[in-house]
Amino acid sequence: MGPGRRGATAEGACGESLTVTLALADGATSLGTVSYTLRLGTLETTTLLSESFDGLVAPALPAGLDPYAVPIAEARRNYGPLKAFSEKEVEKHYAGMNTIIRPGLIVGPLDVSDRFTYWPYRLDKGGEVLAPGDGKDPVQIIDVRDIAEWTIRMAENKTFGTFNATGPLKPYTMAEMLDGIQKAINSHATFTWVPADFLAEQKIRPWSNMPVWMPDRSDNGAWSRRKIDKALATGLTFRPLAVTAKDTLEWNKKRPEAELQALAEGRRAGISAAREAEVLKAWKEKQKPS
């Protein structure tokens, strides 16, 4: 919202609506009768400085960038800093009466981003599946219904503070997540694990082409090792991965044809069957004795 504007908006994820109140921007003249503010943001408001759960710091906006007049070309590039700035605005204008929630990757039915949906879809097709890394990289996800229910409880109870909100209790490994999905949907797919360096050579990108996954390296700063103790202490709970996987697959099968075609082609996330086959072939060729 621009300077001097205030109001409420509904932000949702995976089809679940969550009403959040936006903080007043600089230039607004009155707080009115607001007694409580809840902001639903993202874990990208923070950068991890180490490979542990700790060491969080908010990324700064580039010098000279007006957060209320960011050109479209700059918005994505400064996504994290802009989110961090909005948190500071909430804290500035609603000190002592705000709740800031930083979700991780929200997944489940109605998630058209395909950032998790790709895996139940792909495993349901069967055959040889390109799996990223060595299976040991940590991953964190949260079912949209879990975060929605918990957020509502937080608002109803007016539980103040800033909370990282992702799951599960302990990060899955990538292998644990894929194995869990496989078992949940009774898939007979097989996995071929391909190292991160080779995937990079093939221009297969983590997170987008290989959804959920991020190599657990120092330059990724414990991407999927976010500390969630505060959220757990306030009652955040998680339904089983099997439930999320089965419900997501069931929903996915009923999507419009255009969305299913986009998923098959890897337009939003994942990769097409043809591209997957190319990378698997290249990897096997590389393994052959010289």
CA atoms of 257 and 15, how far apart (whole Å): 18
In this prediction, residue 5 carries a pLDDT of 32
**Is the full-model pTM beyond 0.85?**
no
In this prediction, residue 130 carries a pLDDT of 98
In angstroms, how far apart are the furthest CA atoms of the chain?
74
In this prediction, residue 50 carries a pLDDT of 33
In this prediction, residue 57 carries a pLDDT of 62
Per-residue pLDDT tens for 269-282?
A: 999 999 999 999 99
In this prediction, residue 39 carries a pLDDT of 57
DSSP 94: S
Phi, psi (5° rounding) for residue 91?
-65, -35
Whole-Å CA distances, 1 to 16, 22, 85, 94, 103: 22, 8, 13, 16, 21
Per-residue pLDDT tens for 34-57?
A: 555 665 655 544 443 333 334 456
In this prediction, residue 260 carries a pLDDT of 98
CA atoms of 8 and 22, how far apart (whole Å): 6
In this prediction, residue 90 carries a pLDDT of 85
In this prediction, residue 77 carries a pLDDT of 85
Q: Which amino acid is at 171?
A: P
In this prediction, residue 82 carries a pLDDT of 84
Residue 12: exposure state from Cβ atoms within 10 A (0-12, 13-18, ≥19):
middle
In this prediction, residue 160 carries a pLDDT of 93
Q: Domains in the chain, start-ordered, CATH in brackets?
A: 7-287 (3.40.50)
CA atoms of 237 and 251, how far apart (whole Å): 22
Write out residues in the chain with pLDDT < 70, as ranges: 1-58, 221-222
